[in-house]
A and B are shown apart, each in its own frame.
Chain A
Amino acid sequence: MAVGARGGASAQAGERRPFPPGNYPVVIVGSGPGGLQLSYFLTRLGIRHAVLSADDRPGGMFRDFPIYQRLNTWSKPHAPVGPESRHYAWYDWNTLLADEPAHQALVPEFMKGDSYFPTRAEMEASLEAFVARASVAVRYGCRWEGTARAEDGFLLRTSDGEYRCRVPVFAVGMAEPWKPAIPGIEHVPHYAEALPSQAYAGKRLLILGKRTSAFEIADALLPFCREILLVSPRPVLLAIHTHSTAGVRARYLLPYEDHILGGGVFMLDGATSAIERTARGFRVTATGTTKPGTFVFDADAMIAATGWTSPLGDLRALGLATFAQDRLPALTPFWESTTVQGVYFAGAAGQGAVGLRKHGVPSNSGGLGGFRHNARVLARHLAETYFGLSIPRPVLEPAEVVPYLLSETSRAAELWNQRSYLARVLTVDRSRGIIDEGILPLQYFVDAPGPDAVAAVLETDQAGDHHPAIYVRRDGRVTEHVLPGDPLLTFETGEHRTQLASILAELL
């Protein structure tokens, strides 16, 4: 489904629609969680902006997906800390961030309490509540149709007219179904077009793909299908092995166990070369990749769980660099295009900024749990870089630094949701003292020149051990210092304090 495929401004029919065409400092395109979260933080900073959406209501992808109606990211009904704590977000990956108590923990508020994974409907209701309570204004039914450079910024052509802005931010998600070029694949419904589960009762289903969306479908259809085959060139990667959400989440692993125990689910590593329609359904030809051989499968039904692409419109014509087989924009650590200066992204498309990929763990910006934190960082960055805002920074006493950084690595949601990507940064200035610069991308810290400073992040190594990592910049040179892990993830021990104090001794 393309962003705003439903179109229309029915939700606002008869109302005065906000943000008529004109000049705005910032224009956000998209009313999914990425666009809503950025709008919220820009408003908090007093940065005037417009939010445009082709949709008729908020929610983005959550208006329709997950296709079988329950998310794979947790919102724990009983978290170790209350929603008023800024550390709460680590236990609730689905709620948008807000500073006011009335707007916090919105997803659990709508959950029945029988699962720690919200349903799609609960998720959508929470997003609508966020929009209402935080008064996030959106111009619905306004489709972004074209982009051009303009004096001191950009011009966006929309179905409602032209918008000029200093900074456009595209929060357009990974919203367009993507299928590889295999002969006959045009006959295969994409994940987005999967039928109600009852329609697969008694059928032999072949799913192209072995990533999370393929497993989501297989898991939902286990009670219905006679047999399920999952076919893709690469062996399955599990989140419990990759130590990141880049692998298949455990929530969907029943089909994997069924495959291991030989119960009617089959997983094959094969490159599909042809798909034909038959009287019964489909015939699929594939060649083994990890084991040799040619396979021919007959199936009653097929689903292509082959992923999504970001709907980038005409941005490539401006010179936007992309990667991941042309599906993602290549972005700087602050989510700006690496090739079209001044064009920014928010929401799931922000995964185009991969970060240091330490121990293979990429940024968690493809999911709401990660990109909501990016929005706060991006809002501050835009406010200070383009609009002359100077956001006050707290000053710390030297004795506060070690306990503060260890506390941050033990429980700050920004660091846990965005391991190896977002860092707590303190700069050391002889005249001003120790300044808390806030949360910044680690890649920016280690690669950009700057004053003496320290950055603290949470990292996970190949063995799955979580530990704090400290990056110290002295005289322009950055060094890495890895602190020990802890079985209960408490990094405020005497050993941690001693080690960190020693690392920071010269800096402080």
Chain B
Amino acid sequence: MPGREELLNTLAGLALFADLSRPQLEEVVHTFEEEVFAEGQRILRQGFSGSNLYIILEGDAGVVIDGVQRTTLGKGDFFGEVSVLLGEPPTADVVALRVLRCLVLPATDVPPFLLRHPQVTLRMLMAEARRLRSTTLWR
């Protein structure tokens, strides 16, 4: 199981954090919590309030709407940002397809984090733009 150094190296390899310095990555490690989910476990629950932002470090997750899997997410992908930023319950379940290791940040901590790290915000915006472009995958 990854210790601190492995975690820092993993983060350095993720597109979302590609522009951060090593000390900034250390802040990420200390700001986010790490959480691991067993295969089949739900991480986001459709229609439930109070969810968080998740970034996948390892494993795969399925995006499930009304019981139908619409797409999959993998290492470096993030989810939960829409409900966190809009303050609305998720419109999909996210389920671990195998052991899933994530970073997690509560909704209240997301805006200050993004404001502290505009490079991460820009990377997130780019990822959202790519999702928008391929929006049919989400329907």
Contact B38 A447 (CB under 8 A): no
Contact B104 A447 (CB under 8 A): no
The smallest C-beta distance from A433 to any residue of chain B, in angstroms, reads 28
The smallest C-beta distance from B34 to any residue of chain A, in angstroms, reads 5
The smallest C-beta distance from B116 to any residue of chain A, in angstroms, reads 6
A356 within 8 A of B: yes
CA distance A459 to B29 in the complex (A): 27
Contact B23 A287 (CB under 8 A): yes
Residues of A within 8 A of B108 (CB): 241, 359-360, 462
B50 within 8 A of A: yes
Residues of A within 8 A of B116 (CB): 290
Contact B5 A181 (CB under 8 A): yes
CA distance A306 to B5 in the complex (A): 15
Contact with A along B1-18 (1 / 0, CB 8 A): 111110100000000000
Identify the interface centre among B3, B36, B42, B116: most chain A CB within 10 Å of its CB: B36
Contact B1 A447 (CB under 8 A): no
A338 within 8 A of B: yes
Contact A289 B27 (CB under 8 A): yes
Complex partner residue of A289 from B2, B23, B47, B104, CB under 8 angstroms? B23
Contact A290 B34 (CB under 8 A): no
Interface residues of A in 276-318 (CB under 8 A from B): 286-290, 316
Contact A325 B34 (CB under 8 A): yes
Residues of B within 8 A of A326 (CB): 1-3
CA distance A219 to B21 in the complex (A): 32
A354 within 8 A of B: yes
Contact A321 B99 (CB under 8 A): yes
By secondary structure, the B interface counts as mixed
Contact B1 A321 (CB under 8 A): yes
A324 within 8 A of B: yes
Contact with B along A452-476 (1 / 0, CB 8 A): 0000000101100000000000000
Contact A356 B107 (CB under 8 A): no
Number of B residues contacting the other chain (C-beta, 8 Å)?
Answer: 38
Residues of A within 8 A of B41 (CB): 338, 447
Residues of A within 8 A of B131 (CB): none
Q: Interface range on chain A: under 10, 10 to 19, 20 to 34, or 35 or more? A: 35 or more
Contact A360 B27 (CB under 8 A): no
Find the B residue at minimum CB distance from A469. B49
Residues of A within 8 A of B4 (CB): 180-181, 325
A269 within 8 A of B: yes
Contact A323 B36 (CB under 8 A): yes
Residues of A within 8 A of B138 (CB): none
B70 within 8 A of A: no
B88 within 8 A of A: no
Identify the interface centre among B7, B30, B47: most chain A CB within 10 Å of its CB: B30
Residues of A within 8 A of B36 (CB): 321-323, 330, 338
Residues of A within 8 A of B104 (CB): 357
A270 within 8 A of B: yes
Find the A residue at minimum CB distance from B39. A338
Contacts from A to B (Cβ < 8 Å): 180-181, 232-234, 241-242, 269-271, 273, 286-290, 316, 321-326, 330, 332, 338-339, 354, 356-362, 420, 446-447, 459, 461-462, 479-480, 482
In the complex, besides A270-B23, A322-B1, 18 extra interface pairs with C-beta distance below 8 angstroms are A233-B26, A233-B27, A234-B30, A269-B27, A271-B22, A287-B21, A289-B24, A323-B1, A323-B34, A326-B1, A326-B3, A338-B36, A339-B38, A357-B35, A358-B50, A359-B49, A360-B50, A480-B49
Question: What are 18 inter-chain pairs, A to B, with CB distance below 8 A?
Answer: A181-B4, A273-B23, A289-B24, A290-B116, A323-B34, A324-B34, A325-B34, A326-B2, A326-B3, A339-B99, A354-B35, A358-B48, A359-B106, A359-B107, A360-B106, A420-B50, A480-B48, A480-B49
